[in-house]
A and B are shown apart, each in its own frame.
Chain A
Amino acid sequence: MIVPDGRTPPADLVDPPLDYPPYRASQKRHPKEPLVILPSTLSELTGPVFGPGAVRPTDGDLTRQHAGEPIGERIVLEGRVLDDGGRAVTGALVEVWQANSAGRYAHKEDRHGAPLDPNFTGAGRALTDAAGRYRFETIRPGAYPWLNHPNAWRPSHIHFSLFGLGLVQRLVTQMYFPGDPLLALDPIFQSVPGERAQSRLVARFDLGLTEPERALGFRFDIVLRGRAATPMTG
C-alpha cells in the first residue's frame, strides 16, 4: 500500500473562503457551521491509483478528437504536478474541460449564444510521468458572459481536476491566461486571497513549449498538499 505521510499544511492560506459574497452562487451553498478538523486517517491518506489504461494516448490532444480540426488558436499546455516539498507526483490523473474558442461549452446547459464547434468537445485526460509532467494540446478557450452580476464575463480559463496520491491531494481548480484584463473583474479568480496566491493560477507563456508553425506554448505547474509517497506495507 502507498500512502503519503499525511503532512498537510493548512489549505486556507491559499484557498478561497467558502463564503464569498461577490460570487453569488456561494451564498446558499456554503456551510455555516465550522468545518470539523481531524487528523487524516487511512481513509484520507489513501486514494484511487490510476494505471496507464485509465487514459488513452489520444485523450491528451483535444484538437484531434473529431473528423476535423477545431477552430481557434492552437496551444500546447504543459506542466508538472509537484507536492509541497517540490517533488514530482507521478501517476496523477489530470482531467481538463473547457469552452471552445468562441466561449461555448459542449454541454446542454450552456445557453450562451456563441456557436458550438462540431470538431471540439473540450475534455481531456492525462497521467503524469515519472517527472510529474503532463501535456495537453488544445485550443485557447474564449471568454464568455455569465449572470453573476451585470455585464459579468468569465476570463478565458481551463478547468483542472487532479487525483494525486491520497485524497488529501485531491484538487479541482481553474487555469487562466497571462495578461487577461478580465482577471481583475472576475469574482471566482478574485476569491483567492492575495495576488501571490492568485498568480499560482495563471499559466506562463513559454516560447520553449511553442511548436513552430503549429501552436503557442503555455506552462502551468500545480502544487498539491502533502508530501510524496512513502512506500508502506499495510
Chain B
Amino acid sequence: MSELTPSQTVGPYFALAVPWPGRTAAFPPETPGRRILIEGRVLDGDGVPVSDALLETWQASPAGRYLTEPSHEPGGLARAVVDGAGAWAIETLMPGPVVGPGGSTQAPHLLVSVFARGLLVRLVTRIYFPDAGDLSADPVLRQVPPARRSTLVASAIAQDRYRFDIVLQGPGETVFFAP
C-alpha cells in the first residue's frame, strides 16, 4: 500500500488557478430542469466573513444521475470563489433524488467541499433543500444529531432562490463530514 500524500491549505491565492471565479453554472444552459440560485456567506468563529475561501459543489442532474462522462466542463460541478465580504453564489439546476446505502433514497442535495486559507484539510458538507424530497428519510441526515440537522438545509428566500451560510466554527457551526 502506497503512503498517502498529506493535505495542505489552499492558501489565499488559489484564484490564480481557478478559471471560473464568481457565480458559476454547473450545467450547460440548455439542460432541462428547475433553475435555482444558491447564495450564502462563509463565516469564521467570530462571525467574521472569510474572504479567501473556495467552494466546490457536486450534484446529480435533475433526473438524479451523476454525470461522469469525460467533459471539458463537467456537468454537476460548480466552483465559486468568495468575494471580499465572504459571499458566494452559484446558479444551477435542482438535483433529483439519488440512491443511498441499502436501497434508501437520498433527498436532493449538493455535496460541498470548502477550502480556505487557515483550513489545513478540505471540509465537506451538504446542502439540502426545505422543499425538495423527504428530508426525514434521508440516510445521511438521519446520522446527524437532530439539533444540528438544520445547518445542512438551505433557506428558501425567494422563488427558486436559496440561502446557505457556512459557519466554520462556534454557534450555529455547520455540520461537516469526514472527507
Residues of A within 8 A of B (CB): 1-3, 9, 11, 13-18, 20, 23, 25-33, 35-39, 41-44, 46-54, 82-86, 91, 95-97, 105-107, 109-110, 121-125, 159, 161, 167-168, 170-174, 188-189, 191-192, 196-198, 200-201, 222-225
Contacts and interface: CB of A to CB of B under 8 A. Distances in A.
A14 B6 contact: yes
A95 to B, nearest CB: 5
Nearest to A198: B6
A54 B72 contact: yes
Given A32-B169, A41-B106, A191-B120, A15 B6 contact: yes
B70 to A, nearest CB: 4
Given A36-B176, A201-B5, A159 B168 contact: no
A200 B72 contact: no
B16 A29 contact: no
Contacts of A110: 13
Interface stretch (B33-41, B46-54, B155-163): B46-54
Residue picked from B7, B44, B74, most chain A C-beta under 10 Å: B7
A200 B176 contact: no
Given A41-B101, A46-B68, A96-B17, A109 B122 contact: no
Interface of B is mostly: loop
Interface string B67-102: 011111110110000000000000000000011110
B111 interface: yes
A4 B74 CA distance: 18
Interface string B105-147: 0100101010111111111101000000000000110011000
A15 B120 contact: yes
Residue picked from B116, B119, B174, B177, most chain A C-beta under 10 Å: B119
B5 A222 contact: yes
Given A11-B179, A29-B45, A36-B177, A109 B12 contact: yes
A148 B48 CA distance: 19
Given A33-B175, A36-B175, A192 B6 contact: yes
Nearest to B42: A29
Contacts of A168: 179
Given A28-B169, A31-B169, A97-B17, A14 B176 contact: no
